Amino acid sequence: MIKKRKNILQYLVDFFSSYLLCVVSLVLLGLLVWFSTLEMQDIGLSKALDKYYSHKNFIVIPEINGGKSTYIPLPGAYWVCCVLFVNMLLGGIIRLRKGWRNIGVVISHFGIVSLLVVGFVDHHQSIHGKMEVFQGETYDYATKFDYTSIELSEFDESGVKQRPYVIKHDQVADLGDRMRRFTFKALPFDLEVRHFRENVVVVNASSRARGNDSGEIVDGFFLHPAKMDPSKDYFNYGCYVLVKPKNGEPSRKLLLCRSVGFPQTFSVGGKLYGIEMPNEIWKMPFSVDLINSVGEYYPGTRRPSKFQSTIAWTGEDEEREKVQTIKMNHPMRYKGFTLYQANWNEPINGLEFSGFEIVTNPADQWPKVCMWISAIGLLVHFSLKLGKYLERETRKEKGNKQADE
Amino acid sequence: MNKKVRFLGFSLTMLIILAVAGMGIRSLIVPSKPKEVNGYTKWDERVVEEMRSLPVQDGGRIKPFQTLARRYMYSMHGDRGMKVIVDGEKEKLTPTEWLMDVMFRPEMADQLPTFRVDNSDILEQVGMGVKTLRDRYSFSQIKPYLGKLQNAYEAIHKQIKDSGEKSLDKEQEQMYAFARLLQSYHSLKNPFLIDDEVKKASGFYSLESFFVSNNRDNQIARVKQAGSDTLQVIGVLDGKIVSDAIFLSGISDLGEFSKLIINPTEGEEAWSSIGSRFAKVARPTLEAYDIYADKIGALKKKYGKLSGENGDGFFADYLPVFQAYTSPLKDVQYSESLMNEVIELEKLQMAFSSGDAGKQLDTLGAFKKKYENHVDFGDEGGSISGEILLNKMSYFNNGIALLIFAGVLLIAMCLSIGTRVGGILYWCVFGLTSLACLFTIAGIVHRSWIMDRSPIGTLYDTMPFIVGAGLFLLLLIEWIRKKGIMLGVAICFGVAVLFLAKSFEISDARDQMDPLVAVLKSNYWLSTHVVIITLGYMGGIVAACISHFYIIGRAFGVVDDKETRQYLTKIVYGMVAFTLLFSLVGTILGGIWAADSWGRFWGWDPKENGALLIVIWMLVILHARVGGYIKEIGTHVCSIFGFMVIVFSWWHVNFLGVGLHNYGFTSAKAMTNIWVFYGMEFFIMIIGMAMALVVIEQKRAKKNTSKLSEVENTNL
């Protein structure tokens, strides 16, 4: 018999749908998950996720034991998942021999492929933030986790801060040691941002030797790169800015850091301005008023038994205010946003306080559907296998009995 | 199935049981002789019985005194009983008796070998002479070195503050834990035992008289009326103030005695212990005393030695200091209920230190009656009598005993295989294993009923659950095929995991039935996600146990017939599929729980990653098998590796110190055990891989031989 010669496409399809690729991809994914879990101890959750699971990283080099042990380079988990996705789609669904024998396999593969799609959507689309709410005030915004911003505001004569101009996180996050100039038409100055760092501490120049720090000294302080505390998983961003007045006044250097909770001030053309580095503001499609918040502990312990808040909220498309109680495992959901109870504090200056975290994820409820699909698929497949096994065993036993007779 | 297989296979598994049990026992028992305790008198059994069921408030729930005593005895003594020699006779003190000693007869308790020390080097560091590495010591033996221990504790505490807990080495960790145990022991001791000297000086002999004699106006009147002997009056007043302060700081917040009053804040908004309420009222007195002491010190410095000549001048200066001390205390009010409750505690203490069993019973009876209406379990569930019964039944310990007995019969069964006795023994082993399974399940149900929640809420809960479910499954498989192999596997598996649970319970020294944190208070998710994922763990562990039997058995030539090998491989394949199904569904359910609670499906938390690793590895096994990359031995080797992945997810990630599921314990000993486990499993995997190479080589040789004979035949 003459074997038909395969073309390149067929070779590629064969390769991408092969069991070998499936097993290798799964082993690689397992290794990446394992290494990332171990490395979290040293670099924290966010950094480990960024390193191993970001689509920006094609290759990762695992470093565990605080960087003392370095292992061979591995492909990034995002791309391994992409390969697995293609493999499952081709090998587990499209090319699989259809029929009752394989129906369970097809269904379960379809469930897992859908789950991977959910993972991709989640990776690219979900945003996390926090909303700290005091009784008596209305909140319609949250602040994003891990996203900082540079806010510029003018102060009026009575010292009241005007509506700020904002440079968003994404506009500066990739800067590193480079410089980027920002111009605002309404402002009498330009702004140059440089040395944007993920983690810094503000150090008094006279209090310790600068060593190899490249940062400039501004008003007696400089930014010292710091290692992130993995248990806190908090990025203390920092950068240097240069205010360049358009009217020929001398430029002014300033130093910004996320953890400094107040603005640095400067004057241009006789007007006072403030610049600071708060978390990036995130506008919500609803507003929230805290009615009350309750925190209870089990008697004689600091183990929380109940944290809950009652809020009045109004959606942007709704006129009527709704009252809802948010507690552990019972969040508020609205238009793809989930608001849940994250922390609680004793009243501050007599005002009740509640800390919520907020997440938006378009693929929010899809995993439930994927789980049912996968579970049903596996159940059907393994039930068929078990049935067959039992049938074979019974037949064998009968055969043995007959042989004995 | 031939006799040899059964006999050797089960003999081997029994050896494994003994090894595992031996290791478990070794970690539980400190090789020390019972200590001689001079003058010890045992409590009256009726009093002990009554005390066991006294409701106490501890760990956020109401529980019997017996459970509290067990928890403390685990943490300090590392066992559930204390062996001592009294007047030449061996005695075993129960946790209740021991805690009664510590609380009510501390001078006697100080002689008991309470403190288990696993590394005596830490005692040598403070200058104490020790004979063995691991031993038990009494408080009296340690007392002379308390100062040095305190210094070591403070130095370690500072290091933790500066560089974190991870910077501690193993010895520092042990020293720190030991010093904290001593603090805990001190807080258990009776706070009412004040020196008689102090009591006499302050003019009261009980708290009742303290509350009565604390009338400041009378004291001022006495000072004002003081006539001729000024110095004597100053002496009496000063003595009273000093002894008041010593008395109050001595009883401070009443220590663990507070726990004996279960609901002292009737009518108040938030729960607070009787001790903290007492300390709150007593605080101004102690603060006023600090100021008074400073001022008196300055006066004494100014006047030097007091005599008749400078006495009046001193008195004139002393009077405003005394008034400054007493005036803020006029507002100090010990409320009626507070006084009554503290006095109730003192009455209890006085009765128990009297040595009169009748009086003890009467006082305890009255005490229990007074507070019985306060027992309100609220939403958390609970039952004093139910918990006493649970403690008495010792379901899991009985399960271990039954399984060990079944193991012994199993050996006998293997020796008499093919005979009538062998057949009877088979059913005896089956019955005993089933009984152990029932005991375990009964224990799980009983605990669940008392806690009024799903059976799994803590790491400890997973262990009996895995045993209950695993034994049930293995017995079911055995029932279908009746090959006897699964009985051996079930016994090994059950004994090992139940011993692990016992060892963990003792080393963790926490009440494993304490209520759960708010986020875990969801019976729906605990019953679905947690139960399903634990069943996934169970599937993988059972598969690995069978694979151990296969590899070790085959290595020793025990599992040599094809039918048995195929049977074991099919069961392992089935269990891998089971593990995949439950792990996958459990993991996704966990994600859905997270999405429902926190709006995010997946957070790459170490525990989540661990569960994902199990799913990935099970998928690797199944796909590698279908793809023909692994055969029979490969499946078993991979299944053993799967066991390591499960242990990583089940235990190891808890020690990483990051993530939402982080349990926060960093015991170096536990980590060492995990690494030893990985090492052992790797060793067995290497045996399996070597065996696979031999089989491949044999097949190749066979193939070559047949080819050669084919060529010869052709030539011929």
Distance CA B551, CA B640 (A): 10
Verify whether the Cβ–Cβ distance B599 to A358 is below 8 Å.
yes
Nearest CA in chain B to A49: B604
Q: Does B522 reach chain A within 8 Å, measured CB to CB?
A: yes
Bridge partners (DSSP) of residue A189 are A245
Q: Is-contact B465 B453, C-beta < 8 A?
A: no
Least confident of A115-124, A132-141, B139-148, B357-366: A115-124
* A chain contacts of residue B593, beta-carbon cutoff 8 Å: 329
Q: Is-contact B577 B622, C-beta < 8 A?
A: yes
Q: Give the sign of the dihedral formed by CA B234, CA B236, CA B238, CA B239.
A: positive
Task: Give residue B663's pLDDT.
Answer: 45
Structure confidence by residue, pLDDT tens digits, B294-308: 998 888 888 887 777
B242 pLDDT exceeds 80?
no
Q: What is the mean pLDDT of residues B554-574?
A: 87
DSSP state of B189: S
Q: Which of B325, B329, B299 is nearest to B314 (CA)?
A: B299
A211 pLDDT exceeds 60?
no
Percent of chain B predicted with pLDDT > 70 = 84
Residue A334, SS3 per DSSP: strand
The three state secondary structure string of B581-592 is: HHHHHHHHHHHH
User: Terminus-to-terminus CA distance in chain B, angstroms?
Assistant: 42
Distance CA A31, CA A23 (A): 12
Is the domain of A192 the same as that of A120? no
Task: Give residue A340's pLDDT.
Answer: 87
B466 pLDDT exceeds 90?
yes
Cα separation values, B333 from B289, B341, B647, Å: 17, 15, 57
Verify whether the Cβ–Cβ distance B519 to A363 is below 8 Å.
no
Q: What is the mean pLDDT of residues B334-362?
A: 85
Residues 6+ apart with CB under 8 A from A197: A223, A225, A237, A238, A239
Percent of chain B predicted with pLDDT > 90 = 38
Distance CA B117, CA B77 (A): 9
Is the domain of A223 the same as that of A296? no
| pLDDT confidence bin for A351, thresholds 50/70/90 | confident
* B chain contacts of residue A400, beta-carbon cutoff 8 Å: none
Structure confidence by residue, pLDDT tens digits, B425-438: 999 999 999 999 99
Q: How many domains does chain A have?
A: 3
Structure confidence by residue, pLDDT tens digits, B670-685: 777 888 889 989 999 9
Is the domain of A337 the same as that of A379? no
Is the domain of A51 the same as that of A112? yes
Q: What is the mean pLDDT of residues A181-196?
A: 91
Interface predicted TM-score of the whole assembly (ipTM), two decimals: 0.79
B268 pLDDT exceeds 60?
no
A357 pLDDT exceeds 90?
no
Q: State the number of CA atoms in the 13 A half-sphere of A338 facing the CB.
A: 26
The count of residues in chain A is 405
Task: Give residue A320's pLDDT.
Answer: 83
**For residue A78, what are the domain limits?**
8-125+365-404
B288 pLDDT exceeds 80?
yes
Distance CA A331, CA A324 (A): 9
Is the domain of A312 the same as that of A323? yes
The neighbour count for residue A234, using CB atoms within 10 Å, is 15
Structure confidence by residue, pLDDT tens digits, B603-629: 788 888 999 999 999 999 999 999 999
Q: What is the mean pLDDT of residues A253-264?
A: 87
Please spell the DSSP secondary structure of B250-303, one letter per residue: HHTT-GGGGGGSS---TT-SS---HHHHHHHHHHHHHHHHHHHHHHHHHHHHHH
Distance CA A6, CA A15 (A): 12
Please spell the DSSP secondary structure of A202-229, one letter per residue: EEETTTS--TT--PPPBTTEEEEE----
Residues 6+ apart with CB under 8 A from B82: B73, B92, B93, B98, B112, B113, B114
Identity of the residue in B258, B623, B658 whose CB atom sits nearest the CB atom of A45: B658
Burial status of residue B172 (CB atoms within 10 A of its CB: 0-12, 13-18, 19 or more) = middle
Distance CA B485, CA B431 (A): 15
Q: Is-contact B582 B547, C-beta < 8 A?
A: no
Distance CA B171, CA B157 (A): 14
* A chain contacts of residue B584, beta-carbon cutoff 8 Å: 371, 374-375, 378
Lookup: tokens for B71 = 């928890």
Q: What is the mean pLDDT of residues A258-278?
A: 89
Cα separation values, A263 from A151, A152, A176, A318, Å: 9, 9, 23, 36
Verify whether the Cβ–Cβ distance A300 to B60 is below 8 Å.
yes
Verify whether the Cβ–Cβ distance B599 to A340 is below 8 Å.
yes
Is the domain of A48 the same as that of A102? yes
Is residue A2 in a domain?
A: no
Task: Give residue B664's pLDDT.
Answer: 41
Q: Is-contact A67 A38, C-beta < 8 A?
A: no
The neighbour count for residue B556, using CB atoms within 10 Å, is 13
Percent of chain A predicted with pLDDT > 90 = 27
Torsion angle defined by CA atoms of residues B416, B419, B424 and B428, in that order, rounded to the nearest 10 degrees: 20
Shortest distance between the Cα of A61 and any Cα of chain B, in A, equals: 18
Task: Give residue A23's pLDDT.
Answer: 95
Task: Give residue A217's pLDDT.
Answer: 80
Structure confidence by residue, pLDDT tens digits, B23-65: 654 554 555 578 888 888 999 999 999 999 999 988 888 899 9
Least confident of A265-269, B260-264, B497-501, B546-550: B260-264
Report the run of H or E that residue B398 belongs to, with start and end: helix B395-415
Q: Which of B713, B711, B67 is nearest to B389 (CA)?
A: B67
Q: Is-contact A274 A155, C-beta < 8 A?
A: yes
Asked which of A221, A246, A277 is the last residue of a domain, the reply is A277
Distance CA A24, CA B625 (A): 13
Structure confidence by residue, pLDDT tens digits, A377-402: 989 988 998 888 888 878 877 887 77
Verify whether the Cβ–Cβ distance B61 to A364 is below 8 Å.
no
Distance CA A328, CA A333 (A): 14
Is residue A1 in a domain?
A: no
DSSP state of B378: G
B541 pLDDT exceeds 90?
yes
Is the domain of A19 the same as that of A134? no
Is residue A352 in a domain?
A: yes
Q: Which of A171, A165, A133 is nearest to A263 (CA)?
A: A165
The neighbour count for residue B141, using CB atoms within 10 Å, is 20
Q: Is-contact B366 B343, C-beta < 8 A?
A: no
Task: Give residue B262's pLDDT.
Answer: 77
Task: Give residue B362's pLDDT.
Answer: 94
Structure confidence by residue, pLDDT tens digits, B73-105: 999 998 889 999 988 888 999 999 999 999 999
Task: Give residue B196's pLDDT.
Answer: 60
* B chain contacts of residue A339, beta-carbon cutoff 8 Å: 599
* B chain contacts of residue A298, beta-carbon cutoff 8 Å: 59-61, 380, 514-515
Is the domain of A169 the same as that of A183? yes
Distance CA B364, CA B49 (A): 11
DSSP state of B1: -
Please spell the DSSP secondary structure of B588-642, one letter per residue: HHHHHHHHHHHS-S----HHHHHHHHHHHHHHHHHHHHHTTS--HHHHHHHHHHH
Q: Does A304 reach chain B within 8 Å, measured CB to CB?
A: yes
* A chain contacts of residue B592, beta-carbon cutoff 8 Å: 367-368, 371
Q: Which of B626, B642, B640, B678 is nearest to B551 (CA)?
A: B640
Shortest distance between the Cα of A154 and any Cα of chain B, in A, equals: 37
Is the domain of A37 the same as that of A80? yes
Alpha helices in B137-189, H assignment, sequence order: 139-142, 146-163, 170-188
Is the domain of A342 the same as that of A258? no
- Residue A349: phi, psi to the nearest 5? 50, 40
Q: What is the mean pLDDT of residues A219-227?
A: 82
Q: What is the mean pLDDT of residues A188-194?
A: 92
Nearest CA in chain B to A27: B620
Distance CA A37, CA B649 (A): 11
| pLDDT confidence bin for B227, thresholds 50/70/90 | low
Is the domain of A154 the same as that of A266? yes
Torsion angle defined by CA atoms of residues B266, B269, B275 and B276, in that order, rounded to the nearest 10 degrees: -170
Task: Give residue A67's pLDDT.
Answer: 67
Task: Give residue B209's pLDDT.
Answer: 60
The three state secondary structure string of B78-91 is: CCCCEEEEECCEEE
Q: What is the mean pLDDT of residues A7-20?
A: 90
A323 pLDDT exceeds 70?
yes
Q: Does A368 reach chain B within 8 Å, measured CB to CB?
A: yes
- The residue of A14, A21, A22, A26 whose CB has the most chain B CBs within 10 angstroms, and thus the best one to mutate to test that interface, is A26
Is the domain of A334 the same as that of A221? no
Q: What is the mean pLDDT of residues A212-220?
A: 70
Distance CA B499, CA B466 (A): 13
* A chain contacts of residue B597, beta-carbon cutoff 8 Å: 328-329, 331, 340
| CB < 8 Å & 24+ apart, contacts of B553-558 | B553/B5, B553/B8, B553/B9, B553/B12, B554/B633, B554/B691, B555/B687, B555/B691, B556/B8, B556/B12, B558/B4, B558/B5, B558/B8, B558/B9, B558/B12
Q: Which of A35, A36, A34, A57 is nearest to A45 (CA)?
A: A36
Please state, rounded to an integer, the average pLDDT across all residues of chain B. Answer: 83
Distance CA A299, CA B268 (A): 13
The identity of residue A28, as a single letter, is L
Please give the model's pTM, rounded to 2 decimal places.
0.84
Q: Give the sign of the dihedral formed by CA A233, CA A234, CA A240, CA A242.
A: positive
Least confident of A169-183, B6-20, B275-289, B336-350: B6-20
Distance CA B517, CA B215 (A): 45
The identity of residue B300, as a single letter, is K
Task: Give residue B88's pLDDT.
Answer: 86
Q: What is the mean pLDDT of residues B230-244?
A: 73
Q: Give the sign of the dihedral formed by CA A202, CA A205, CA A209, CA A215.
A: positive
Structure confidence by residue, pLDDT tens digits, B637-672: 999 999 999 999 999 988 876 655 544 444 566 777
Bridge partners (DSSP) of residue B35 are B84
Q: What is the mean pLDDT of residues B689-695?
A: 92
Task: Give residue B661's pLDDT.
Answer: 54
Task: Give residue A288's pLDDT.
Answer: 92
Task: Give residue B82's pLDDT.
Answer: 92
Q: Which of B604, B521, B539, B618 is nearest to B578 (CA)?
A: B539
Lookup: tokens for B3 = 């006799």
Cα separation values, A46 from A360, B16, B599, B639, B657, Å: 18, 43, 17, 32, 15
Q: What is the mean pLDDT of residues A39-53?
A: 84
Task: Give residue B7's pLDDT.
Answer: 58
Taking the CA atoms of chain A, what radius of gyration do you get in angstroms? Answer: 29
